[in-house]
Amino acid sequence: MESTLQPAAHTEHDRYRALYKEHRNPFVRWAQQRYHVEDEEAHDAFQEAVIVLYRKSSDGGLAELNCSVRTYLFAVGKNQLLNRMRVLKKQDALQDDFDGILVADPGIKGMDGQEKEATAELVRQRLAELKPDDRRVLELYYLEGNDMDAVAEAMGLKNRNVAKKKKHYALQRLISLVRVVKMLAL
Amino acid sequence: MEEQQNDPVMERTIRYVENDMDVVERAAFEQELAKDPATRENLAAVRNTISGLKDLGVERLRKELRSADAELNGRGMAGAWRKWWWAAAAVVLLGGLGWWLMPRDTPQALADHYAVKEEGLPVLMGTSPRVLDAIMNAYKQDDLATAGQLLELAALKDPTNDTLLYFTGVVMEREKKYPKAEAAYARVPGGSAYALRAMYRGALCALQESRTDQARVLLQRVAAGKDAQLSERAEDLLKRLDRL
């Protein structure tokens, strides 16, 4: 079956980009008033907040959200600022306006930063070796965060089940390529 | 089209990681996990790869958010620009002068900047060593002379083999024998899995030889090709060449 390899019309990333554009400036104003931080610091903190929300969504954790997306993003953004200012020993300047909202650590347990980076790099290299439609199905699902219906539509496949099967095959191929390299490295 | 191969064991492991199992199947899998080291090894491989893919997704989103920053900052700057347009105009003029005085791109500098490292093929660890394994072993150990000799010998037996032609080009390129590398890349057939990579590398070799027109022709074909990453690089490089 030939696939058309069209880009997804509206990817999940578009949604997060729109969220970011909608709430960034209000967050920056709020952060500057409360904590007297520079623009750049506030931008970075809010970017991290959107990334945390994205990771939570891709791990199926959005259902646990017990507040509005805006409140959640502000709470995570505030925690990011708090962490940065702790590093700079400025924690006295901070107040806890969003107590009670649980913000998970976005890191993956059991893998340190360096190992994660090395694995991501290895996966990036092997991904480039896959056939274009195998690579595309994995990009649409894992890198762009689309659901199976959107993947099927973007690739011109009959339905989500066909797309899911294709994703499984492509992922198996990628795993075996990554494994070969890891075995050689041992 | 290549036959799609499914490995039911890996398929099941993927479904476990992605929470795509009912309670009974999940419990059975977890029992097996407790007993069988191979299942645990499969699970680690699946988790690592998926985690790597998701990290690449995060990296991509981060870039998109940075470009959203640029848009938002640009919008915010419009007011400031009106207010301080004299100062801004002076900065632009000085910047322009600085740019004019700065050293410009050269074809060779662009070729170096856009070079893509060729990792080589995985070496199989079977009991009967193959010629290609020996070539890849030498290549990965940076023993380009041996890799080149073995490629030459192998090409005598199979002169149209696309893998041999492509890696002959790679070895020649790394030895800075650009015309020979370009000739080897040009012989990789259009239908080969290496075709686009060979064209891209051929274009970089042409740039090293200052033949920008030939490089452009090859890069335009790569840009129109189906390899998204190479296509993006080729388009970017074409834009830089237009500014030479």
- Asked whether the predicted pLDDT for residue A186 surpasses 70, the reply is no
Q: In whole angstroms, give the CA distance from residue B27 to residue B13.
A: 13
% of chain A at pLDDT higher than 90: 38
**Closest chain A residue to B117, measured at CA:** A125
pLDDT tens per residue, range B33-54: 999 999 999 999 999 999 999 9
Task: Write down the ipTM of this complex.
Answer: 0.78
DSSP of A91-125, one letter per residue? GGG---TTTT------SPTT--HHHHHHHHHHHHH
pLDDT tens per residue, range B97-140: 665 566 567 888 888 888 888 877 766 544 444 777 888 888 88
- Long-range CB contacts for residues B75-84, cutoff 8 Å, separation at least 24: B76/A25
Q: In whole angstroms, give the CA distance from residue A74 to residue B1.
A: 50
**Please, which pLDDT band fits residue A6 given cuts at 50, 70 and 90?**
very low
- Nearest neighbour of B57 by CB, restricted to A17, A143, A168: A143
Tell me the chain B residues in contact with residue A51 when contact means C-beta distances shorter than 8 Å. Answer: 58, 61-62, 65
CB contact, 8 Å: B58 with chain A? yes
Highest mean pLDDT among A8-17, A172-181, B211-220, B226-235: B211-220
- Asked whether the predicted pLDDT for residue A98 surpasses 90, the reply is no
Query: What per-residue confidence (pLDDT) applies to B145?
Result: 85
Query: What per-residue confidence (pLDDT) applies to B38?
Result: 92
Query: What per-residue confidence (pLDDT) applies to B101?
Result: 61
Q: In whole angstroms, give the CA distance from residue B117 to residue B120.
A: 9
- Asked whether the predicted pLDDT for residue A43 surpasses 80, the reply is yes
**Please, which pLDDT band fits residue B243 given cuts at 50, 70 and 90?**
confident
pLDDT tens per residue, range B189-208: 988 888 999 999 999 999 99
Residue of B1, B4, B137, B139 to mutate when probing chain A, most A C-beta within 10 A: B4
Query: What per-residue confidence (pLDDT) applies to A1?
Result: 34
Query: What per-residue confidence (pLDDT) applies to B85?
Result: 60
Q: In whole angstroms, give the CA distance from residue B237 to residue B99.
A: 19
Average pLDDT over residues A85-98: 58
